[in-house]
Copies of this chain bind each other. A is one copy, B any other.
Amino acid sequence: MPVQLRKLDSNDADFNAQLRAVLAFEAAEDDAIDRAAAAILADVKARGDAAVLEYTNRYDQLDAASVSALEIRQDELHAALAGLEPARREALQVAADRVRAYHERQKQECGSDGFLYTEDDGTVLGQKVTPLDRVGIYVPGGKAAYPSSVLMNAIPAHVAGVQEIIMVVPTPAGVKNPLVLAAAAIAGVSRVFTIGGAQAVGALAYGTDIIPAVDKIVGPGNAYVAAAKRRVFGTVGIDMIAGPSEILVLCDGSTDPDWVAMDLFSQAEHDELAQSILVCPDADYIERVQQSIDRLLDDMPRRDTIRTSLADRGAMIKVRDMNEACEIANFIAPEHLEISAENPLQWSHRIRHAGAMFLGRFSSESIGDYCAGPNHVLPTSRTARFSSPLGVYDFQKRSSVIQVSEAGARTLGQVAAELAYGEGLQAHARSAEFRFK
C-alpha cells in the first residue's frame, strides 16, 4: 500500500499557512507525567539511594540489593567491546575516532583557553575557559538504545576535559545492550549505572551516597526524563529538550530519486512523529521521488513507521527556484538539511539556520548520524534559529577576568561611580571611590 506525501506549491496563495500547518508540532505537556516526575525527584532528593533502588526495581523489573549492585564496572564494559563481532567493533572504533577528531578540532579552533589582554594603564582583561567537573549522560534503554548516542554525548565531554562522565542507562528486565556498553568503553565514560527515568535524573542532579552529583545532564529520554530534566534545570545544566527528528532535502533535481527517497525514509523510520520534507523546483522530479517511495517502501523492515511518518508529517514542496528553497530552509531552520545539488556551496552560503548541513549528493544524513565526525545531537523544531549542535562548548564554561591597575582604579572608578550614583547604588560608587580617594 503506497503512501501519498502532502504536496505544496510555493505559488499557492495560502502557501505560508499550509507550510506552518505542516511544521506545526506541540510537544504534549502532560501534567500527570510532570507531577509524577516531580514526586520522584522529591523522593530521590529526600531518601537518596533507597528511593533510587525502589523505583529502579519496580519500573525496570529488577531485584537489585543495592544501588552499588546497579553499577557496571569498567571490565564489563571492555568485555562487551571485546565480545563484539570484529566488523562491528571496528566500525564503532572508526566512528569514535572520527567523532573525537572533529571535536578536538572544535576545541582547538575555539574555547581552548580563552584570552587575556593588557591595556595601556596596566589593567588586564580576559576570559578563562574551564571544563565542567562532572557530567551525567542519559542513555535510553530498550528499542531506542543507540550506541552512536553514547559516542555523540560522551566524546565531546571527554574532549572538553570533563574529569568524570557518569552514564545512566535503564536495563528493563536486566537486559543490557552490548553495543551500548562497548560504546561507553570507547567513549571514555567513567562510571555506568543501570538506572533510568526521573529517578536517574534526580540521582545525577542531587547526588546520593553511591551516585555522585553532576554539574550537567545531557542525553535524550522519554517524557518522564524530559519533565525531570526541565525541573532540575538550574540545580544542574541540561541540554535542549529534543523534539521529533527532521530532515529537509533541498534538491535541484540532479540526484538519483531513489537516493532522496531513501534519505526521507531514514528520517521517517525513527518514529511516527519524525518529519521528512523535500523541497525542489522541478515538479517532474518530485513525481519521480514519489514513485521511488512507492517502489522502495514495502522492502523496508520499518515500513509501517515510515508510512505513518510520511503520511502524517511528510511533505513535498514545489518552489520557483533554489533561491526560494533556501529561504524556506531558513524559515524552517531544520535539524538536518541536505543540499543535494550541483555545486551545493552556491546554496549553502545562503543558509543561516540549520543544525547540520549535508552538502552534495554523496552526503547522506546517515553518514553524519554515525561517523562523519560532527555531532548528531542537533537542535530540532526550529530551535536551530538560536541553538547549536551538542559540542565541546557545552561541557566548558567561561569566567571573566578583571585585574584593574592602580591607574585604572582612578579612571575607571570615576566612570563607575558616576553611573552608580545615577542608578542610586551609593555603596557601588563608594567602593570604587575608596580605590582612588
- A23 at interface (Cβ–Cβ under 8 A)? no
Shortest A132–chain B CB gap in Å is 5
Partner pick for A426 among B302, B379, B393, CB 8 A cutoff: B302
Chain B CB within 8 A of A311 CB: no
A55 within 8 A of B: no
B383–A388 CB distance below 8 A: no
Binds B, one of A56-64, A84-92, A168-176, A315-323: A84-92
Q: Do B147 and A419 touch across chains, with their CB atoms under 8 A apart?
A: yes
Interface size class of A (residues with CB under 8 A): 35 or more
A237 at the interface (CB under 8 A from B): yes
Decide: B385 and A148 in contact? CB cutoff 8 A.
no
Contacts of A365 in B (CB 8 A): 431
**Cβ of A364 and Cβ of B431 under 8 Å apart?**
yes
Are A368 and B419 touching (Cβ within 8 A)? no
Summarize A's interface: helix, strand, loop or mixed: mixed
Within 8 A of B (CB), among A346-402: 348, 351-375, 378-379, 381, 383-389, 391, 393, 397-402
- Which chain B residues lie closer than 8 Å to A391 at the CB level? 127, 398
Interchain CB contact (< 8 A) of A109 among B27, B114, B435: B114
Nearest Cβ on chain B to A240's Cβ, whole angstroms: 8
Q: Contacts A387-B237, A399-B356, A434-B262: A366 and B420 contacting too (C-beta < 8 A)?
A: yes
Most chain B Cβ neighbours within 10 Å, of A27, A418, A420: A418
Q: Is A304 part of the contact surface with B, judged by Cβ < 8 Å?
A: no
27 contacts between A and B (CB under 8 A): A87-B418, A95-B415, A95-B419, A102-B125, A105-B115, A105-B117, A110-B111, A127-B391, A132-B385, A215-B386, A265-B431, A266-B425, A266-B430, A301-B426, A357-B401, A362-B408, A362-B409, A364-B432, A364-B435, A366-B416, A366-B428, A367-B432, A372-B402, A372-B404, A372-B412, A374-B400, A391-B398
The 9 closest A-B pairs by CB, nearest first: A374-B400, A237-B386, A265-B427, A91-B418, A359-B403, A356-B400, A362-B409, A366-B428, A388-B398
Give the interface of A toward B (CB within 8 A). Answer: 27, 87-88, 91-92, 94-95, 102, 105-106, 109-111, 114-115, 117, 123-125, 127-128, 130, 132-133, 143, 146-148, 179, 215-216, 234, 236-237, 240-241, 256, 258-259, 262-263, 265-266, 268-270, 300-302, 306, 344, 348, 351-375, 378-379, 381, 383-389, 391, 393, 397-406, 408-409, 412-420, 422-432, 434-435
A110-B110, A262-B434 known; 9 other A-B pairs, CB under 8 Å?
A: A27-B234, A95-B419, A105-B117, A269-B428, A300-B426, A302-B427, A366-B420, A369-B416, A388-B399
